[in-house]
Chains A and B, each alone.
Chain A
Amino acid sequence: MKINAFGIDFKNPVIAASGTFGFGNEYKDYYDPSILGGISTKGLTLENRAGNKGIRIAETSGGVMNSIGLENPGVEYFLNQGIEEMNDIESVILGNLGGSSLDTYIEGARLIEEHNKKVGKAEKNSKKIDIIELNISCPNVKEGGIAFGITCEGAEKVVREVRKVVSCPLVVKLSPNAENISRIAATCEFEGADGISLINTVSALKIDIRKRKPVFNNIYAGLSGPAIKPIALKMVRDVSKTVSVPVIGMGGIVTYEDAIEFIMAGAHLIQFGTASFMNPYAGRDIIDGIKRFMEEENIKNLDEIRGII
């Protein structure tokens, strides 16, 4: 199950998705988070954010809609205090970085780079951020994030500038709402991204007909869960066929069968998110399931089935 991507060794291809796994320890009553291949942190922004007001999560057929609004303690606070919680975790850490302007992305990335250098020189006793997962796809923050994830021009600018300031692997997380997701992925690769992760939630609407109002204060919210899986799977296949860098596939992965589908569609690694709300053991169950599947199907290495569709 071991896999190397972006020059980093993962013990397995299963990663906890940003925004659904806190800072790594929240599910530790259910299983040791170190069994995971990787953990992507809650989305961090340069300034701390209290997030959106009103209802933030709701159920829909086969899916979950959320409008958290990137609530987080800020990059600096996280690198100085929050990251301590992750010290005992032996999985690859993906620092999910959001932003509201080009400058806030660059400054956030620079702080992570500085942190990694200090850790490298043993000036700081902490964990490194192994990979930056650049979030240009959060649909729930009005002023930012996704503005860079809709067009190739937006993505080009932010990836180019962030690439200049960071030396660790840079993975760009894309939105299914992009004008053309394969082209935007190609643009990110051209600008120096080491990988692409997709898909973030799908922009969606839910209406309370008794109140005659949208359920969410921001009107639109992000749809995740099994409902979006077939869409995500197609996009992962399209992007995998377009770029040569490794792809992290996600979108409605709940079981090991789902994970295998994404690998067959071309993903090197996969992320699970909403699955944890349905089953707090989801991460462990997906890893065990992949292992069992490989034994049953006599697969020695996931490369044998990657991208076969």
Chain B
Amino acid sequence: MYKIAFNKKIGIDFYIMRIEGNFEGSPGQFYMLRSEDSFMTLSRPISIYDIGDNYIEFMYKTVGKGTQYFSKMQRGDSITLYGPYGNGFPVDEYIDKKVALVGGGMGIAPLMYLAKKLNNPDIYLGMRKEAMSPEQMREIGESYSRYGATYFNIGNDMTEKIDLSKYDAVMTCGPEILMKKVKDLNKNTYVSLEKHMGCAVGACLSCTCDVNGKRVRVCKEGPVFRGSEVDFKDED
């Protein structure tokens, strides 16, 4: 069990939780979070937002009972973490290349730690206008801009305005409709998929899907896949 350092609201239903301790993990990997006081049966898979000296941070959105419970937790409360799980983005391969990161909604979360580990990527973040106040968006945008030129798009389809073909690679996370558009704009796109999960170790097969004609477990072989190998039409 670990202690929460802070848990702050950063949007209408967005939060960032910092947990004290030394944690491992690479961008795109995730942890399973649970509160032993909450009678939760399933832990919640949440991607790494940032790892620093003696802390890990998660950006999450309240979507159901579990994340609503998390949002009420406070500094000093205990939380249980297992992980890191999954494969993560291919950081080493693209560390010196020209990379664009494209995130929509909650999908911006894994891109912070990814931007930190890459070398000056261009960062495109999209958010529906009700999600955050202008002041909150400015703050979030500034935190990403420490690691690369950051463009914040509010309430519109940003893929129409940006030229993604000029990048060596694009790494994206967000709604499937966004990831599908992005992968059509650059052949070398990596997508991070989201699924309901049970075990996170590849045992329960709750999160399987077809990638490149094979059954894969999003928690184990993913969550990051080559966009060209994912057929979003078949996503169930």
Contacts and interface: CB of A to CB of B under 8 A. Distances in A.
B196 interface: yes
Interface string A53-81: 11111111111101010010000000000
B82 A226 contact: no
A285 interface: no
Nearest to A19: B204
A200 to B, nearest CB: 15
B203 A26 contact: yes
A42 interface: yes
Contact of B206 (A53, A62, A68, A225): A68
A66 B208 CA distance: 13
A71 B208 contact: yes
B43 interface: yes
A277 interface: yes
B42 interface: yes
B interface SS class: loop
Nearest to A227: B41
A59 to B, nearest CB: 5
B196 A277 contact: no
A280 B201 CA distance: 9
A29 B205 contact: no
Contact of A64 (B39, B42, B64, B202): B42
Given A57-B196, A66-B198, A225 B41 contact: yes
B194 to A, nearest CB: 12
Interface in B78-99: 82
B163 interface: no
Nearest to A278: B41
Nearest to A276: B199
A42 B203 CA distance: 8
Q: In which size bucket is the chain A interface?
A: 20 to 34
B135 interface: no
B181 interface: no
B78 to A, nearest CB: 15
Nearest to A24: B203
Interface in A18-64: 19-22, 26-27, 29, 42, 50-51, 53-64
B202 A57 contact: no
Interface in B2-27: none
A59 B42 contact: yes
B149 interface: no
Contacts of A64: 41-42, 198
Nearest to B235: A53
A27 B82 CA distance: 12
A59 B40 contact: yes
B203 A276 contact: yes
Contacts of A280: 82, 199, 201
B205 A277 contact: no
Contacts of B197: 57
B70 to A, nearest CB: 13
- Residue from B198, B201, B204, B207 whose CB has the most chain A CB atoms within 10 Å: B204
B196 A21 contact: no
Interface string A126-154: 00000000000000000000000000000
Contacts of A51: 205, 208
Contacts of B40: 59, 278
Interface string B29-55: 000001000011111000000000000
A54 B236 contact: yes
Interface centre among A27, A60, A278 (most CB of B within 10 A): A278
B215 interface: yes
9 contacts: A22-B202, A22-B205, A26-B203, A27-B203, A51-B208, A57-B197, A59-B40, A59-B64, A226-B41
Given A64-B41, A278-B41, 18 more contacts: A22-B204, A26-B201, A27-B201, A27-B203, A50-B208, A50-B210, A51-B205, A57-B197, A57-B198, A59-B40, A59-B41, A59-B42, A59-B65, A59-B66, A61-B39, A62-B39, A276-B203, A280-B82
Interface of A: 19-22, 26-27, 29, 42, 50-51, 53-64, 66, 68, 71, 225-226, 274, 276-278, 280
